[in-house]
Structure 1
Amino acid sequence: MTTTVLEGLSASARGVVHRGAKSCDCAGATVLADRHDGTVVRHGDIVAKAHAPDADRSELAVRTAVAAHPALAGILLPPLAIPGAELHGRAVSFWPHGTPVDPEAPDEAPWEQAATLLARLHRTPTAQLPGPVPQMRGPVKAALAVARMRKAGPHPAAAPVEGAWSTLPAWARAEAPMPHATTLCHGDLHLGQLVRHPTPGGAWLLIDVDDLGLGAPAWDLARPAAWYAAGLLDPDAWTRFLGAYRAAGGPAVPADGDPWPALDTAAQALTVQTAALAIAKSRAESRELDDVELAVVHACDRIAALPPQLAPGAPK
């Protein structure tokens, strides 16, 4: 991200915090994220986000309006009632700042709360929402990750990732419409997408609506499922997450019994996505894959080696 964009975004956040004020004695803006798909800065209790350059403006407007709708109160962090802006051709939105999950306290990770929020999101009636609600972008992000890996150039770990990718059905590769795409989904669920509401003792809320839309709810459970399958998520955490989702009436999996027939395809797609991004980043940083990244690549190797009758989308 160029300094010009960061400075402009910081000035936008400052302008919202100090509307009408001629001077500001508080600390400057803090960069919370600076990636190719979005830049986020905080100034005081305001967060300003510059969305991806290629973000569809009309779809983003609907997604933001959905987050502000009363039906999503207590589920999604609502945007501030401030007209959207533009910065160097990128849409900018404004949000209240919330306290994120502490990455240094994994035992305190709010897996149950995340699962309950997902179940409530998935049970939201969509007919009353602003629309038309776009499609959830999960499969698109997986396809973009694979494209990014390929653009980065040859890598010895790419073969199992490509092999696993080739086993996925067309909809999971964003090459065909997602089946049964009638549920409101987050599209990019991980613990970094939760913050505590900016009030003392506030509840956890979901953030980041860039991939929000109608889709198959299993996709929102896919990342923790993939981590568990790859040995990266403690079995107790996975059990608590899945149990809380079921207890809250989440529709992505049966209320009891084996959840994996419903989760396999999405979890394998997220495994490929994670491995592809790891390879692309390692090449960009001229470094070897670390142990966690290698675990995900090895999981892709296992996916690619599945017998055809067990591959995602195969008749059961």
Structure 2
Amino acid sequence: MGLSKEFQNSSFWAKEASSSKYKLLQEEQTSSSTSLPLHKHKENIHTLTIISTAASTFSKIWILHMILFMISGAVLLYSILKLPSKSYCIEKLSPYSPGLHIFQDVDKVYRFDVGYNSHSSFRGPPSPERDAVWDRITHVGAMSISEETRQKINASDGSVRLPKESGGGFMAMTEFVHEMHCIDRLWKHTYPDYYMYEYNHTIESPEDWHEHADHCAEILRQKVMCNADITVVTYNWLKNHESPHPNFNSQHKCRDFDAALEWAIANQAPPPKEGKVYRPTDGTHYFEYDDLPFDPRKLS
């Protein structure tokens, strides 16, 4: 059966319309499909920009922290290196001496043992053994020091020089040896029956004896006042004592006396040929002073 022309035309237009709608829908879909990825692409770019900016900011902060850390480390290291050493502290708290180095690595804490019934090799009735102990720390010979050392200790320009066989430098001694000599001398005076030569000296030359005793007491007084030991001493109750008794067994931080004594002994100058130092008789110029004390820079 054949189709009419109207039907064929309507069918054609229907196909055309359907085709046109399909193309339009396809175009819209195409347009929609192309516009959606572009929007997402922009969002991605924005997100990447934020991430990149954040990463850049984090990187800068991290670098800043590293710089600050390195600066802090450098400052800490510098501070540690600049901390005063033990030798620096000793030098700042002590007058110059060529023997200061012996105390740089030595710290000793002692608890004094000074009870009335305490025993020590230095205390008690005199005896040959007791004398030997005192002689070891008081019979130390003079030492020879250089011109540089003499200037550093601000000693007199007219200081006595030793003969060449004794080193040829300036005659010197350590303070503690003289202080121990004074203590020993005063202690011996408490036993006149044993140390008769000391007692006889007081009888034969009382003025000279008192002068020497006063000198020693004055030296020790000035030394104690110079040190001004502020160690705190507590009190305790003791049997057969009505009042609180001071506990002198206090703790002290002390220099190593044995090291100091060994240094002084090791640095003794060889004794002169004549046994003692006399005024020069060979024409060598020397200075004489009226008495002590005097200006160390004064020559007369």
Structure 2 length normalisation: TM-score?
0.19
The structure with more radius of gyration: 2
Report which of the two has the higher share of strand.
1
Report which of the two has the higher share of helix.
2
Structure 1 length normalisation: TM-score?
0.18
